[in-house]
A and B are shown apart, each in its own frame.
Chain A
Amino acid sequence: MKIGVLLKQVPDTETKIKIRADGKGVEEGEIKWVINPYDEYAVEEALRLKEKAGGEVVIVSAGPARATEAIRQALAMGADRGIRIDTTGIEQDPYTTAVMLAGAAKNESFEIIFAGKQAVDDDCAQVLIGVAEKLGWPHVTPVEKFALSGKTATLQRPVAGGTKEMIEADLPVVVGCEKGLNEPRYASLPGIMKAKSKPVAELKASELLGTERARINVTKYSLPPERRAGKIIPGEPEAAAAELVRLLREEAKVI
């Protein structure tokens, strides 16, 4: 089975983000880059499926040169090869990213694609849906349980209120992976050394995009306002509770 995984390289969640002086982006100098955590679930699920059904796991990422490192990290986990769509000089938004990834996926004729349910940098959660749309496939997201029998996948999705939704989908399908789906393995030392010689092909963004252009225009980045210091209400529980209610009503105006 030919299994595709969509993967994005994102800043480590502990990175202190600094906005560039021109406000058009973030300073990349000191960022530690990692595989988007949700994509790790995708890689793991793909590897597990391959271990059961055989075949090949192909990592596809659209990004600048550094994204190759994230691909190599996935190869070190056990994926077979990678494709990087070089986005240097391209205006990348969820739409163009989906167009490019779908273009690459089409060439590969995957039978199933796993992706993280969203990327933790921009949190758009649009790309996998866009890819499914462009491929004309169904998608299911966020998925917290996955099983495949023959050509039919059974997927579990959380729904508001704590209930679960069970979905059956015939292949091909795009699966958005949620935390809890599995426990991603980490690369072993031999895995890391082997990954060095696994192929990573490079595609040109312009060829996959044709005349398509970004639909989002970023005007400015800014950091969220700093959280204000909390307030500790001293005193006996009864008096403190009364004071808390007063503050919620009069100051915070939430009750």
Chain B
Amino acid sequence: MPSPSTIKGGSFLIEPTVSADVFIPEELSFEFKELGATAARFSTREVFSKAEAIETKEPGLMTSLLKAAGEQGLLMLEVPEAYGGLGLGKVASTVIAENITHQTSFSVAFMCHTGIGTLPVLYYGTDEQKKRYLPRLATGEMLAAYALTEANAGTDALAGKAKAVLSADKKHYILNGEKMFITNGGIADLITVFAKVDGEHFTAFLVERSFEGVSCGKEEDKLGLHGTSTVPIILNDAKIPVENVLGEVGRGHKIAFNVLNIGRWKLGAATVGGMKRLIELTAPYANQRYQFGRPISSFQLIRQKIAVSAVLTYLTESLVYRYAGALDGALSKIEKDSPDCAKCAVDAIEELAIEASIAKIFGSEALWQVSDEAVQIFGGYGFIRDYPVEHHYRDCRINRIFEGTNEINRLIITGTLVKRAMSGRIDMMTRLGEILSQLKAGFPEVDPSLSHAVWIDQVDRLKRLAVYLAGVAVQKYTTELERHQATLAVISDIIMDVYALESGLVRALKVRSPVFEAVAVYAIAERAPVLAQKARQALVNIAEGNEQALSPYLKALERIVKFVPANVDALLETVAARVLEREAYD
């Protein structure tokens, strides 16, 4: 099932995309759909039915639900078979992630355990460490957390002060410090803690909650996710056996950041479920709520909110499955029992860092917008706690903050691209050269006989726009580029939308469903002019008001982008009619 060729990170921007390489949810096997059905059943029957008790943190409840999930096999998906798991990949994991979303707090606790909680040992553990912990994490016998953040080291995670010193007998590291905002912190048995050996060498430790000197502080009182445990983890002369150093001393930052890569895609995958759950609430509500003697779903402004919600769901869904398929493709090529198998897996994950950040930003912002529209569709009732959308609005807010804020992820997208271009790891410079010469000679045309040729062309143009703007920014700002965050963010917005729009269009062209086609075309027609305008403003800023400098930029821009009119009201109507008839996204 995974796509046959290994996809290079960021290559979608500079190389033509092969449709067969883009995994789409319609290609899920029967078994994988069944995994999703089991997850959804568990999520509704066992979890959602206890929503109130979860949100008031009934003692022991979250723990017992996670253990029950373990009994169903829901925690063992990605754990290799040799360590008591199913050894399935990211596509299967995406299916679970989006189906376990009926109760938001549980979903976050679940994702934390199976994601940033379990994956450090899975990808970086020695065989002995994996034998010791993975089977127990796979069943839920042990619950996991990940502790990177400190009070003064949030986004700047490496600035942490937690310190580790080797004991005199060299058998333990003695850890001191305080980690902050740790999800599952109050219920976890195993915590991956980051601390600096001798205050210098950033290192990951597998810390059991029962180790001497490990404790947790008071639960935070939060805006949302009232059911999750978020606590400080306090290390007070904590004695960690040297066997529990994860990876190498001084290489902890690799672990910290790469685990976040996976966490970011997982977060994106979960937002897909969040959006679907919201549509399952708003579509029937709009059909049942009457004003002016008609259901509010008969009003165009409401229909468009429903349609736009479905569009955002579709785009996020398309891109997280594409990412998962690409990663599975790469991972499937790694010899399972080769000694550096884990290292290759880690490299494959790092390779797709840009795509992981895209999934995180795009998903969190899409869900934010969908939850906002959901409150609006419910009107006053949307603001009232007794109705089911209010908490979604609060709960999803954190997605733009944790697993790397969206600001930092925007910087990562362009930063990674530029870094790879400079080192020649990705051939952006050749592509830029091509674009510059084509500015004079004209761009190659998309075969007009292809279905939706103009929209394929629009995506191609946006790719050129991203490369061109990145090129101009690098050339102009050179070593100062990093300081120009606003420009970097515009470039990453274009890159991100390119990935989303292309994923959506390729999927629609593969499936040939009229609704999918309407969604994909709408999205491109709506986004392209917005991105062109953002790029134009960025170029004006780069030219610093100097008209002479600006004029070649603007000329280039006018060649690269092209306005293609589309009746977006009609496209949205196609989508709205479908979603409102089915009262669900799927």
Contacts and interface: CB of A to CB of B under 8 A. Distances in A.
Interface residues of A, number: 14
Identify whether the interface residues of A are mostly helix, strand, loop, or mixed: helix
A192 interface: yes
B30 A189 contact: no
A188 B69 CA distance: 9
Interface in B426-461: none
Nearest to A34: B37
B72 A192 contact: no
B86 A193 contact: yes
B126 interface: no
A190 B35 CA distance: 9
B228 to A, nearest CB: 23
Contact of A187 (B34, B77, B86, B88): B34
Interface residues of B, number: 15
Contacts of B41: 186
A192 B41 CA distance: 14
Interface in A63-105: 69, 72-73, 76
Contacts of A193: 31, 86, 88
A191 B73 contact: yes
A193 B33 CA distance: 11
B102 to A, nearest CB: 15
A72 B77 CA distance: 20
B428 to A, nearest CB: 41
A69 B73 contact: no
Contacts of A192: 31, 34-35, 38
Contacts of A188: 38, 71-73
B30 A72 contact: yes
Interface string B26-40: 000011001100100
A249 interface: no
Interface in A194-241: 195-196
A201 B77 CA distance: 29
B576 interface: no
B76 interface: yes
Contacts of B143: none
A233 B292 CA distance: 23
B122 interface: no
B83 to A, nearest CB: 14
Contact of B77 (A76, A189, A191, A195): A189
A153 B268 CA distance: 53
A72 B35 CA distance: 12
Contacts of B34: 72-73, 76, 187, 192
Contacts of A73: 34
Contact of B72 (A69, A72, A189): A189
Interface string B11-35: 0000000000000000000110011
B71 A189 contact: no
The 7 lowest CB-CB distance pairs between A and B, nearest first, are: A189-B73, A188-B73, A192-B34, A190-B73, A188-B72, A186-B41, A196-B31
Interface of A: 69, 72-73, 76, 186-193, 195-196
Interface of B: 30-31, 34-35, 38, 41-42, 71-74, 76-77, 86, 88
Given A72-B34, A186-B72, 19 more contacts: A69-B30, A72-B30, A73-B34, A186-B38, A186-B41, A186-B42, A187-B34, A188-B38, A188-B71, A188-B72, A188-B73, A189-B35, A189-B38, A189-B86, A190-B73, A192-B34, A192-B35, A193-B31, A193-B88
